[in-house]
Chains A and B, each alone.
Chain A
């Protein structure tokens, strides 16, 4: 291979440094979750795990103003529901835009692209809130589910993915066999776009797990999602570092597990999506 493509010592040093910088705050967070408060404020701070994780977890769960366990469960429900919806809606629409001919399809897809540029959740926050008040849903988790059930990025991504993952001949073959469009969707398209669905599902789950602004407005402190639960901890127990860090660590743990299991697909999916964009 060509010499210019090999990594020199400088490149390796840059990458190693980047890796340390990426990992350190996360490592620090997990270390703090196993320490006591007096250890946490030593200088330099401890860099190895201690033995106080259990007691920190107990205090975290006992912190009444945070309702951490409720927040965790709510976040699981919200993120899962939204993910299922986004993936379903996006594969349906993606199939139509990628493989079916219908009047206005170009305009509709263009419309989706344009609206992807508008920060709708932030801009529409006042009417969304009034809507939830009218429906009597403030403080309940459907208020943080409904506005996120679809997103333009998902449709766009699945359109791109379906275009390249499903050969036209396969669809034609289905038609020749007399299959209906829905039947083709279920038995030809869905199996072929599974890897794309997986990446979209992971990204959507992560995004919704991280949602903060809207839940902090529309939910009550007694019925939080995990992010607002941590914000409450931060307000009420900001000086109880180790408990705060325990909560934070617990809140990112599910994402890390997903990342460790599906990391390769996430990187692959991001890179594939990027080239198409």
Chain B
């Protein structure tokens, strides 16, 4: 740790401590009062200063740039909403939106179902619990780029293990990168492989806070394990499910590294016909390959709108899970 501590660590639960005078006498008068008033702001200021500089300011500035024909170090002409109007008519943009949403849906649904199953399994009494928990978290510790490299090889046309495995069942070789849906599957498995265990751990933590007597009462009433899962576990998990879906929505809709690595070459086009170009790839391509910064900024704001819509849809959907059954 970076800070020296000049006192021994106190016990986490201190014994009965002398409560002291009812109104603690604050020595030092003015100086101490200044300390009480001002220090909290001093403590939170590093966060807000840096956050304003590298978070809020760029966000607002993006809006400003998006209203211009803006080239890096070149001409900056005010356009008003022209970039947005052009974007909304841009097929390439909509293609990237469809890909992003497609991959998001294709990855999130199986991921949540699997994570729920895993969490439920881990919630049972079993030997070596920690071992299993660490095991399913292992993928999280690998990097996105590493995962993409490994999976891209697994999905290679001629020597890839996926095609070899399918070949055992008489399925012809699939060119995973050539079609939208096959590329979506390949990319979705990368996402799911890395995140399912993490989500399972989060859901497991929430499962463990569900009072056991709920299950005992249900058992006495003769409810099956499956029924208990759907009528007790899932409804009680709703807040955590909302949280998990929420994180997945932001992660899924800003997807970048996996499709870029899957592509291999640095064009950011997402395949010959853009079959797996995501919105994030579209933004970077417009801004940093074609140097149309205004257009890229407008796309960034539309991405934000997409995330807001996605979050709202998911929120209302998740709220209903196990709701009034």
Contacts and interface: CB of A to CB of B under 8 A. Distances in A.
Contacts of A249: 146
A227 B143 contact: yes
B89 interface: no
A175 to B, nearest CB: 5
B6 A186 contact: yes
A11 B125 CA distance: 10
A181 B36 contact: yes
B7 A187 contact: yes
B28 A178 contact: yes
Interface string B182-206: 0000000000010001100110111
A4 B44 CA distance: 48
A213 B50 contact: no
A96 B159 contact: no
B110 to A, nearest CB: 13
Given A11-B124, A102-B41, A259-B141, A128 B58 contact: yes
The SS class assigned to the B binding surface is helix
B151 A96 contact: no
Interface string A79-106: 0000010011110110111001110010
A126 B293 contact: yes
B145 A227 contact: yes
Contact of A127 (B5, B57, B132): B57
Contacts of B21: 176
A88 B56 CA distance: 21
B247 to A, nearest CB: 9
B304 A123 contact: yes
Contacts of A7: 121, 124-126
Given A22-B139, A270-B198, A248 B150 contact: yes
A165 interface: yes
B5 A93 contact: no
A150 interface: yes
Contacts of A125: 58, 283-284, 287, 296, 300
A256 B141 contact: yes
A137 interface: no
B250 interface: yes
Contacts of B135: 18-19, 22-23
Contacts of A1: 125
A176 B266 CA distance: 63
A124 B145 contact: no
Contact of A119 (B24, B51, B202, B250): B250
Contacts of B300: 122-126
Contacts of A133: 72-73
Interface stretch (B11-19, B94-102, B269-277): B11-19
A93 B124 contact: no
A244 to B, nearest CB: 6
A117 B24 CA distance: 41
A263 B137 CA distance: 9
Interface residues of B, number: 123
Interface in B48-66: 48, 50-51, 54-59, 61-62, 65
A213 B1 contact: no
A173 B17 contact: yes
Contacts of A182: 39
B118 interface: yes
A191 B124 contact: no
B3 A190 contact: yes
Contacts of A248: 145-146, 149-150
A131 B48 contact: no
A155 B28 CA distance: 31
Contacts of A272: 205
A182 to B, nearest CB: 7
A176 B5 contact: no
A40 to B, nearest CB: 8
Interface in B131-162: 132-147, 149-151, 153-154, 158-159, 161
A100 B39 contact: yes
A5 B212 CA distance: 10
A79 B150 CA distance: 23
Contacts of A244: 149
Interface string A32-48: 10000000111111000
A116 B136 CA distance: 26
A123 B139 CA distance: 27
Nearest to A185: B43
Given A126-B62, A152-B51, A235-B266, 13 more contacts: A2-B215, A6-B126, A100-B43, A105-B40, A127-B58, A169-B17, A176-B21, A194-B9, A213-B284, A244-B149, A248-B149, A264-B134, A270-B198
11 contacts: A2-B212, A4-B219, A19-B132, A25-B193, A149-B50, A175-B24, A187-B7, A212-B143, A231-B261, A248-B146, A277-B240
